[in-house]
Amino acid sequence: MADKKGFGKRWVGEMPRIGIRPAIDGRMNGVRESLEDQTMDMAKNVAKFLSENVQYPDGSPVECVIADRTIGGVRESALCAEKFAREGVGVSLTVTPCWCYGSETMDMDPLTPKAVWGFNGTERPGAVYLAAVLAAHTQKGLPAFSIYGHDVQDNDDKSIPEDVKEKLLRFARAGLAVAMMRGKSYLSLGGTSMGIGGSIVDQPFFENYLGMRVEAVDMSEFTRRLNEEIYDPKEYEKALKWVKENCREGDDHNPEELQRSREQKDKDWETVVKMTLIGRDLMVGNPKLEEIGYGEEAMGHNAIASGFQGQRQWTDFMPNGDFMEAMLNSSFDWNGIRAPYIMATENDSLNGAVMLFGYLLTNTAQIFADVRTYWSPEAVKRVTGYDLDGRAAGGMIHLINSGAATLDATGMQKKDGKPAMKPFWEITQDEADKCLEATDWYPASTGYFRGGGYSSGFLTKGEMPMTMSRLNIVKGLGPVLQIAEGWTVDIPADVHKTLNERTDPTWPTHWFVPRLTGENAFKDVYSVMANWGANHGAISYGHIGSDLISLAAMLRIPVCMHNVDGAKVFRPSAWSAFGVMEPQGADFRACENFGPAYGQY
């Protein structure tokens, strides 16, 4: 894996590549020869387009591998498969301008997400091959995505139509997410937190649906590493100095008799900084630990995501995990601007999983929040005297949790002059500084957290497009995904203060309004809240519901609730066979029929 500044070698192995398979009519003595250049050029153009428009989590362009020769039959399919295995291909895209022999040229790897682009032209029947090979994929239980341009192109037109580009990018992003999860770990730091269902970590789900393993480490490992000083001492000194200079301590909102002493608070700062180093080292390792005699600890757990239980067995006597979770989930720290980590509060592994989905699809930091309160316009008027307007006219959802949300969520980063959350390689130092300046670190509420600690407090800027999602596991059915696209909204400062202080003023707030459709769960804002399947949600910058739907189909996870325009829903062609007139039911039936890629759940 590339050792790019701000990312490093976090996980074992190389980044997965996209394999491009140029399929061709195998009939020689005229037919094949006339198509060689056009077919290979099509593959090269697609590879160039994807490398220019899709990035890995380290910011480097995605790498594409093209078969050494066009694929006209089964031997050439096998040669291509051999090369792809050698080159670390994790996503497969077949392209062709012509008729080919379907089952002889198709990709048969059962673990590789697959798509086929059939050129829409009249000289050669690319669409006929597309239909034929997709039928073979469906018949053999190897679903593939169909890519076919809306408009006929001339035979010598090498451009990629806009509608084809959109599907290529959606497939590539989702397919790479599938490939990057495979073989990595979810690190469970502790066990079940306060009886929360998502923190009852379901190992078969991670294994069978995501191709991941679950590593479990008791929270006593934090105690051991704190007591035995198993962290890089030089980095700790650097981190603590940076925290003192950049993390502003807020007012103590605890009753005077429950406030911790200044000595205790100073000690808490030292502990939470050490916890952050330890949590990161447990996830991805740290070669510096080997230098001080801890070779085993230096290796980490190859974790692409993690969760920290915290409550209550830890927080009843030790500082909470809010600082650790907030800083690891952010795109900057004492080492500068860098890629975020994924760490779920309260070890809610199902929220952690969708945070991971959002991260791999966007390369941006993810927000963990309680889906806490629906505020109707009437309730806001009664409490504050203010009439909600604009996007919030129909009410809004208060997303808030103890201060563990990424600081990227302040909205202090900019894109086209508007508040945004960006991949780390696009973030400037000035933007990182402003995120820190917008955040107060309040002494933790000792009613909740008897052991102290610090919680981040900030208000997310409005008018950012956001997608909230959630995985839930249903006994007898398995995992289901919920998606709600919408926006953060601004409300007057005094109104926010009144509403926020009814919950906890020491925690970060995101006022969220979903996009409504007027039907079912999206009839109104209240219905979205009422149909949400758990107490937590993962929030990603941008409207990425379409990408999440494609990813879910690859993972065979049905989507039980979404507000994505039907024209933007992109699933494997086989899904139509399960009820084209009823796409949501078809999704459930198709996912059940084909089942998880990595074994029976």
- Positions annotated as catalytic residues are 346, 370
SS3 of residue 375 by DSSP: strand
Q: Report yes or no: 197 and 168 within 8 Å, Cβ to Cβ.
A: no
User: Strands 336-337, 332-333: parallel, antiparallel or unpaired by DSSP?
Assistant: antiparallel
**Residue 29 φ then ψ, to 5°:** 70, 40
- Distance between CA 442 and CA 194 in Å, rounded? 23
Tokens of 252: 């103590």
Cα–Cα nearest to 355, from 409, 396, 310: 409
**Residue 378 φ then ψ, to 5°:** -65, -40
**Residue 107 φ then ψ, to 5°:** -80, 125
In 10 A of CB 31, how many CB atoms?
A: 15
CA distance between the termini of the chain = 31
Four-point Cα dihedral 176, 177, 182, 187, nearest 10: 150
In 10 A of CB 427, how many CB atoms?
A: 24
Which residue has tokens 């289901």? 480
Cα–Cα nearest to 284, from 12, 6, 4: 12
**Residue 218 φ then ψ, to 5°:** -65, 150
Query: Is the bond into 312 cis (omega within 30 degrees of 0)?
Result: yes
Tokens of 306: 């993690």
